[in-house]
Amino acid sequence: MERCRIILSGSGGQGVITAAIILAEAALLYEGLNAVQSQSYGPEARGGASRSDVIISDTDILFPKVVEPNVLVCLTQEAYDKFSGLIRPGGFLLTDSHYVKQNERVDAKQVELDMHQKVIDKIGKPIVFNICMLGALITFIKLIKPESIMKVLENRIPPGFLQINKEALELGIEMVETRGKKA
């Protein structure tokens, strides 16, 4: 397989690092693949640019950072402006239309989804925005099954919050699957 080199980026507090951990753990534990996750962030606890790198491969992963992502997710304009130039030409770039105005000069398959607004409308809890994004992302990259993400969530998340996470994941998947039809 070609190495899947993913950068998830946004603002501290949006949950991009958590999403990256869940994604990588699902790949490693439930898909029989190898995965490495790392992150870079500033000294502040909230706010500031936040970035997490995930590499998914069927071989050993030595260099743990992503230099040229073939999958990039940007959840803020700041992150988009900073990282969209890194993407491998022709790569896949996902943004949230509420936060990011895409630049058509970026050489990538760019997709924007109104994930944040949909999460507010349908679930009412912005905290699961990142899981909705994860649902959309795995539907595009097709390496990780939703069930694998759910297994990780079951281990990591208190039972009381599992249902809204499941709804968010399904919402993300649904947004991608119905995208062509509505547009």
Task: Provide the binding-site residues for another protein, judged by CB under 8 A.
Answer: 21, 24-25, 28-30, 34-43, 61-65, 67
Compare residues 69 and 119 and give the one whose CB is closer to another protein: 69
Query: What minimum distance in Å lies between the beta carbon of 132 and another protein?
Result: 22
- Strands 34-41 and 49-57, by their bridges, are antiparallel
Q: Where are the alpha helices (DSSP H) in 36-178?
A: 77-83, 115-122, 129-141, 146-156, 159-177
Give the distance from CA 22 to its chain's centroid.
Answer: 10
Would you give the DSSP letter of residue 32?
S
Compare residues 88 and 122 and give the one whose CB is closer to another protein: 88
Query: What minimum distance in Å lies between the beta carbon of 39 and another protein?
Result: 6
Compare residues 29 and 120 and give the one whose CB is closer to another protein: 29
The torsion region of residue 24 among left (phi > 0), alpha (psi -120 to 50) and beta comes to alpha
Spatial separation of the C-alpha atoms in residues 31 and 24, rounded to whole Å: 10
Query: What minimum distance in Å lies between the beta carbon of 24 and another protein?
Result: 6
Query: What minimum distance in Å lies between the beta carbon of 63 and another protein?
Result: 4
Spatial separation of the C-alpha atoms in residues 104 and 32, rounded to whole Å: 36
Query: Which tokens belong to 146?
Result: 């939703």
Residue type for 73, please?
V
- Bridge partners, 89 (sequence order): none
Compare residues 60 and 104 and give the one whose CB is closer to another protein: 60
Query: What minimum distance in Å lies between the beta carbon of 38 and another protein?
Result: 4
